[in-house]
Amino acid sequence: MPYELIIIAVLVVFVLLLIIGQSIASTLLTSGLIGVVLWRDSRVLDAIVGPDIFFAVSTYSLSIIPLYLFMAQLLMRGGVVADLFTVGIRVCRGKRFPLGVATIASGGMLGAVSGSGSAAAATLATLASPQLEQIGYSKRYSVALCAVAGSLSAIVPPSIIMIIYGSITSVPVGELFIGSLVPALICILSFSIVLYFFPETHAVEVISDNLTQHESIQTSTSGALVASVFVVVLMIIVFGGIYGGLVTASEAGALGAFIALLGLWILRKLSWGDVRASLVEASKVTAMLMMIVVGAQIFGRFLAYAKIPNMLMDLFTPLMAMPELLIVVLLGFFFIFGLFLESAAVMILLLPVIMPILTKLEVDLLWFGIVACFTISMGLLTPPVGLATYSAAMSAGIEPDQVFRVTTLFASIAALIVAGSLILWPGLATVFLS
């Protein structure tokens, strides 16, 4: 079969599977298998593709994922997100701007323990959106704010896509976590600046007597404060251990899961049913991510047979003399793919293709990984897919189109500030590592 027809056939299959609603894992797997068989023959599946899959999913750094997911599920089922927001409401005393900033900060904390932008956005939309509406924010704006806060999961450690990036590029995951701290803080600050200049933020304050009585917040302030302090201490132990060199990222994940289990059990926030459900959910999400890894590995093998990386190298050769421009172009690919695909799939699919280019440019892979994760996080907010925006809108029962108008503005301004800062001052990603 002619070279061009094989590529066209695989591309058509890929697009059709996405259009009919197949998951990204099955889309990558099916189109990759078809491409490999058409390019070679079915015998190559046992000889090459089988071992490829085994070595891809048995990568040691990927073993971190279920540990952090289990910790996240325990904290979610323990209700600490509601506790964090309860404390935020009490501290802000119904003031609009501080409560908006508290929502963004809560999203950062939730992202730090959940690793899922869509899950964090949906949780915040259910919990925080009614509270924001009671103090005068419109429903569209309050849901958008929850989506923006949820998108921080891609850049606030322990980000799942950072773990995947580290497993592919061999960059230490612990260093990625530490290096992302300053960019994450800049991102939160950028969102807060945008929030401050929105007209709704400075309209006449509307303070409801029932502000803290919403049915989703059922814990006392004292109990919420204890739970919030526990979460902060947990994060300090996990990331302080990594930063201090006391534990590796994998050990920190295991330690965090154990402390979360023990602490929430002592606080009487978990039942055996919650523990079982947390294990099941963590296993489901891990299996889903591993299927994406498998599908992307097979699809990547087809791309290697088709010499797509070589074609890209030839295509970008004129830009090699302008490395800054070429890096911006490569980051543009991450953003565009992030508009349509799961963030994990974007990492797994693009990195093997562009790694030869990054190597030739001698790019700092730690810096590039952090910028790429941030770029993908912006894709969680912008149409046509925008998973964080879509999840928040669906949870709150509002049309996503209305929310996209706000989240796109947040994403655009944050992209200029954060990406511009990291490009102009690359040392921001290594300030804690020097």
SS3 of 316-366: HHHHCCCHHHHHHHHHHHHHHHHCCCCHHHHHHHHHHHHHHHHHHHCCCHH
Q: Are 376 and 334 in contact (CB under 8 A)?
A: yes
**pLDDT (0 to 100) of residue 248:** 82
User: What burial letters (b/e) apply to 275-299, b meaning 16+ CB within 10 Å?
Assistant: bebbeebbeebbeebbbbbbbbbbb
Cα gap 175→171, rounded to integer Å: 8
Which residue would you say has higher pLDDT here, 97 or 433? 97
CA separation, residue 321 to residues 118, 361, 366 (Å): 39, 9, 22
Residue 232 has pLDDT above 60, yes or no: yes
Q: What is the mean pLDDT of residues 124-148?
A: 80
pLDDT at 221 over 70: no
Mean pLDDT (whole number) for 302-323 = 80
Of 16-30, 48-62, 229-243, 309-323, the least confident: 48-62
Give the pLDDT of residue 94. Answer: 61
pTM metric for this prediction: 0.79
Query: Which residues are within 8 A (CB) of 334 and not within 5 positions of it... i.e. 6 or more apart?
Result: 346, 350, 372, 375, 376, 379
User: Is pLDDT of 217 > 50?
Assistant: no
- Tell which residue, 109, 74, 344, has the closest CA to residue 239: 109
pLDDT band at residue 132 under the 50/70/90 scheme: confident
Of 278 and 213, which is predicted with more confidence?
278
Cis peptide before 384 (omega within 30 of 0): yes
